[in-house]
Amino acid sequence: MPSVQQTCILCASHNGDNLGLCKPCLKDLPWHNAQQCPQCALMTNGSICGSCLSTPPSFDATTALLTYDYPVDGLLQHYKYNASLNLAHTFASLFLEKKLTQSKQSMMQNEVNLIIPMPMHQNRLKERGFNQALEIAKLLSKALTIQLDYTACQRTKHTPPQASLNLKDRIKNIKGAFSCQQSLQHLNIAIIDDVMTTGASLNELAKTLKQAGAAHVECWVMARTLQK
C-alpha cells in the first residue's frame, strides 16, 4: 500500500508519512526504551524496583511506549481534548510496532486474551464525548485480533481529575472507583490507558479485575511519567 503523505503534526513539514510524523520528529520522540522495572516501567537496571517490591501493585507488568515529556505531553493533551482520531491511530500504530519487537525478543510473555480500556465515568464521558483510552484500545484490539471489552468494567465513582492531586490523595480518590459485573476467570488482560503517572488508577482497576478472577493483568500505556 502506498503511504499517504501528511503534514507532520510536530514540525509542519510535508513528509508526515501515514502517521502524521516525519522521520526526524519520530526519531526524536522520547521513547521509553531505557532499562526499567518490568512491573511498573520506572527506570531501574532492569530488575523490579524497590516500590514494586515493598508494595506490589495489582498489575503484573507494564509496557510504556514513550515518556511523558515534550512533545508527547502536548500531543496527548491535544488528542484528549480535541478527540483527534488521527492521533489515536498514530499512538496505536507506534505501540503495535513496539509490541511486535517485544514479542520477537521474548517467548516468555503471557498471551493477552482480553483488552480493557481504562473506563471513564459516564458524567465525564458526557462532558468530553469520547474516551481516549477506548479509541486506542479499539485499534489495538483489531490489529492484534484480541477481544475488546469496554462494558465489563465501569467507573462507578465520579472523582476529581487525578491530575490535580498528590499521590496520597490520588490513591484515596480512586479507591473503590471501579466495578466489574462479570467473571474474568483465567483471563490475561491488558488495560489500555493514555498516560500512567503514579499508576494509582491502573492499580485500582487491576485490583478490581483480579477480584473478578483475572489471572494476569498488564498495563499498556502510551506514555509514562518518570520521577525526576
Residues that bind Zn ion (CB under 5 A): 8, 10-11, 13, 22, 25, 37, 39-40, 49, 52
Tell me the closest approach of the beta carbon of residue 53 to Zn ion, in angstroms: 8
Regarding beta strands 153-155 and 178-180, do their DSSP bridges make them parallel or antiparallel, or are they unpaired?
Answer: antiparallel
Task: Tell me what percent of the chain is helix, strand and coil, each rounded to the nearest 5.
Answer: 40, 15, 45
Q: Which is nearer to Zn ion, 138 or 170 (CB)?
A: 170
Nearer to Zn ion, 7 or 103 (CB): 7
Least Å distance between CB 22 and Zn ion?
A: 3
Which CB sits closer to Zn ion, 12 or 100? 12
Residue 114: half-sphere exposure toward Cβ, Cα within 13 Å: 20
Strand order, beta sheet including 114-117: 61-67, 216-224, 188-196, 114-117
Query: Residue written as cell 477480584?
Result: 211
Q: Name the DSSP letter for residue 20.
A: T
Q: How many CB atoms neighbour CB 187 within 10 A?
A: 20
Q: In angstroms, give the least distance from the CB of 181 to Zn ion.
A: 30
CB of 84 to Zn ion, least distance (A): 16
Q: Whole-angstrom distance between the N-terminal and C-terminal Cα of the chain?
A: 42
Residue 39 or 141 with smaller CB distance to Zn ion: 39
Residue 87 pairs with which residues in a beta bridge?
none
User: At closest approach, how far in Å is the CB of 16 from Zn ion?
Assistant: 7
Q: Which residues pair with 178 in a beta bridge?
A: 155
Nearer to Zn ion, 60 or 119 (CB): 60
